Chains A and B, each alone.
Chain A
Amino acid sequence: MSSDLAPFRDQIRTWLAEHVDPHWREKMFNVSQEAFVDAQRAWFEKLSGAGLATPHWPADFPGGGRSLAEQKIIYEELARADAPRLILYFLSLYHAACTLIECGSEAQKREFLPAIASGQIWCQGFSEPNAGSDLANIKTRAERQGDVYVINGQKIWSTMAQYADRCLLLARSSRESAPQAGLTYLLVDMKTPGISVRPIHQVTGDDEFSEIFFDDVQVPVTDRIGEEGQGWGIAQATLASERGLTLVELSLRMQQALPRLKAAVLARDPRVDGPLMWTYAEVATEVAAAVATADQYLQNRIAGHEGLGDASVVKLVYSRTLRRFVKLGLQVSGLQGQYHRGFMRGAPQETGHWLQDFLNSYNWTIAGGSDEVQRNIIAERMLGMPREPKHWLLEKGDV
Chain B
Amino acid sequence: MSEMLSALKDSVDAVVEDLPLGAPFAESWSQVIELGWLLAGVDERFDGLGEGLRGDALIASSLSRKLVDTPVVGQLLALDYESQFSDAQEAVAALAGGDVLVGLPMADGQLAIVEVDGGYRVSGRLSGVVGAENASCFWGWNDQCTQLIALSAADAGVVSEPTPLWDRTLSLSDVYCRDVFVETNRLRRGADVALALARLLNRRDVLLAAQLLGAARALFDMTVEHLKVRQQFSRPLAMFQALKHRCADLQAKLMSAEALLVAQLGDSPEILAALQLKYHAGEVASWVAEEALQLHGGIGMASEHDCHLFLKRIMLLQQLGRQEAPYPALIAAHV
Q: How far is the CA of A275 from the CA of B330 in the complex (A)?
A: 13
**What are the interface flags for A238-271 relative to B under an 8 Å C-beta threshold, 1 for contact and 0 otherwise?**
0000000000000000000000000000001100
Interface flag for A203 (CB, 8 Å): yes
Going nearest first, the 9 A-B pairs with the smallest beta carbon separation are A203-B308, A134-B232, A201-B303, A335-B319, A340-B164, A134-B233, A338-B316, A355-B166, A340-B166
Verify A338–B234 contact, CB threshold 8 A.
no
Q: How many pairs, one residue from A and one from B, have CB atoms within 8 Å of each other in the complex? A: 102
Interface flag for B21 (CB, 8 Å): no
Q: A132-B298, A339-B163 are in contact. List 11 more A-B contacts (CB 8 A).
A: A127-B298, A132-B297, A134-B233, A137-B233, A157-B298, A201-B304, A203-B311, A275-B329, A362-B301, A388-B233, A390-B234
Interface pick from B59-67, B151-159, B237-245, B268-276: B237-245
Q: Residues of A contacting B232 with CB < 8 Å?
A: 130, 132-134, 137
- The one of A337, A388, A393 in contact with B319, judged by C-beta atoms closer than 8 angstroms, is A337
Given A366-B301, A372-B243: A391 and B234 interface contact (C-beta under 8 Å): yes
Most buried by A among B293, B297, B307: B297
- The one of B231, B308, B323 in contact with A359, judged by C-beta atoms closer than 8 angstroms, is B308
Q: How far is the CA of A66 from the CA of B290 in the complex (A)?
A: 41
Verify B294–A200 contact, CB threshold 8 A.
no
- The one of A334, A355, A362, A393 in contact with B294, judged by C-beta atoms closer than 8 angstroms, is A362
Q: Residues of A contacting B301 with CB < 8 Å?
A: 202-203, 209, 359, 362-363, 366
What is the CB-to-nearest-CB distance from B277 to chain A, in angstroms, rounded to a whole number?
19
Interface flag for A88 (CB, 8 Å): no
Q: Residues of A contacting B328 with CB < 8 Å?
A: 275
Q: How far is the CA of A202 from the CA of B235 in the complex (A)?
A: 27
**What are the interface flags for B319-335 relative to A under an 8 Å C-beta threshold, 1 for contact and 0 otherwise?**
11001001011000000
Verify A388–B127 contact, CB threshold 8 A.
no
What is the CB-to-nearest-CB distance from B311 to chain A, in angstroms, rounded to a whole number?
8
Q: Residues of B contacting A355 with CB < 8 Å?
A: 166, 312, 315
Smallest CB gap from B246: residue in A: A372
Given A335-B107, A393-B234: A202 and B303 interface contact (C-beta under 8 Å): yes
Interface flag for A367 (CB, 8 Å): yes
Verify B323–A366 contact, CB threshold 8 A.
no
Q: State the interface size on chain A (CB cutoff 8 A).
A: 46
**What are the interface flags for B217-233 relative to A under an 8 Å C-beta threshold, 1 for contact and 0 otherwise?**
00000000000000111
Most buried by A among B300, B302, B304: B302
Interface flag for B165 (CB, 8 Å): yes
Q: Residues of A contacting B304 with CB < 8 Å?
A: 200-201
Q: Residues of A contacting B316 with CB < 8 Å?
A: 338
Q: Residues of B contacting A286 with CB < 8 Å?
A: none
Q: Residues of A contacting B258 with CB < 8 Å?
A: none
- The one of A269, A339, A366, A388 in contact with B298, judged by C-beta atoms closer than 8 angstroms, is A366
Verify B235–A156 contact, CB threshold 8 A.
no
Interface flag for B51 (CB, 8 Å): no
**What are the interface flags for B120-133 relative to A under an 8 Å C-beta threshold, 1 for contact and 0 otherwise?**
00000001100000
Residues of B bordering A, CB below 8 Å? 107, 127-128, 163-167, 231-235, 239-240, 242-243, 290, 293-294, 297-298, 300-304, 307-308, 311-312, 315-316, 319-320, 323, 326, 328-329
What is the CB-to-nearest-CB distance from A204 to chain B, in angstroms, rounded to a whole number?
8
Smallest CB gap from A392: residue in B: B235
Smallest CB gap from A156: residue in B: B298
Q: How far is the CA of A371 from the CA of B297 in the complex (A)?
A: 10
Verify B239–A366 contact, CB threshold 8 A.
no
Q: Residues of A contacting B294 with CB < 8 Å?
A: 362, 365-366, 370-371
Given A201-B303, A203-B308: A338 and B315 interface contact (C-beta under 8 Å): yes
- The one of A335, A337, A362, A372 in contact with B242, judged by C-beta atoms closer than 8 angstroms, is A372
Verify B302–A200 contact, CB threshold 8 A.
yes
**What are the interface flags for A345-386 relative to B under an 8 Å C-beta threshold, 1 for contact and 0 otherwise?**
000000000011011001101110011100100000000000
Q: How far is the CA of A132 from the CA of B297 in the complex (A)?
A: 9
Verify B320–A133 contact, CB threshold 8 A.
no
Q: How far is the CA of A362 from the CA of B316 in the complex (A)?
A: 19
Interface flag for A341 (CB, 8 Å): yes
Given A203-B303, A335-B128, A341-B164: A133 and B323 interface contact (C-beta under 8 Å): no
Given A132-B232, A137-B232: A362 and B300 interface contact (C-beta under 8 Å): yes
Interface flag for A330 (CB, 8 Å): yes
Q: How far is the CA of A341 from the CA of B165 in the complex (A)?
A: 8
Q: Residues of A contacting B290 with CB < 8 Å?
A: 323, 327
What is the CB-to-nearest-CB distance from A201 to chain B, in angstroms, rounded to a whole number?
4
Smallest CB gap from A338: residue in B: B316
Q: List 22 A-B contacts (CB under 8 A).
A: A132-B232, A132-B298, A134-B234, A203-B301, A203-B303, A203-B307, A203-B308, A323-B290, A335-B128, A337-B319, A338-B165, A338-B315, A338-B316, A340-B165, A340-B166, A355-B166, A362-B294, A362-B300, A362-B301, A372-B242, A388-B233, A393-B234
Q: Residues of A contacting B303 with CB < 8 Å?
A: 201-203, 205
- The one of B165, B233, B293, B315 in contact with A362, judged by C-beta atoms closer than 8 angstroms, is B293
Smallest CB gap from A211: residue in B: B302
Q: Residues of B contacting A393 with CB < 8 Å?
A: 234-235
Q: Residues of B contacting A269 with CB < 8 Å?
A: 326
**What are the interface flags for A152-183 relative to B under an 8 Å C-beta threshold, 1 for contact and 0 otherwise?**
00001100000000000000000000000000
Smallest CB gap from B309: residue in A: A203
What is the CB-to-nearest-CB distance from A87 to chain B, in angstroms, rounded to a whole number?
16
Q: Residues of B contacting A339 with CB < 8 Å?
A: 163-166
Q: Residues of B contacting A370 with CB < 8 Å?
A: 294, 297
Q: How far is the CA of A245 from the CA of B304 in the complex (A)?
A: 33
Q: How far is the CA of A355 from the CA of B243 in the complex (A)?
A: 25
Q: How far is the CA of A201 from the CA of B302 in the complex (A)?
A: 6
Smallest CB gap from B321: residue in A: A335
Verify A338–B323 contact, CB threshold 8 A.
no
Q: How far is the CA of A200 from the CA of B233 in the complex (A)?
A: 25
Q: Residues of B contacting A367 with CB < 8 Å?
A: 298
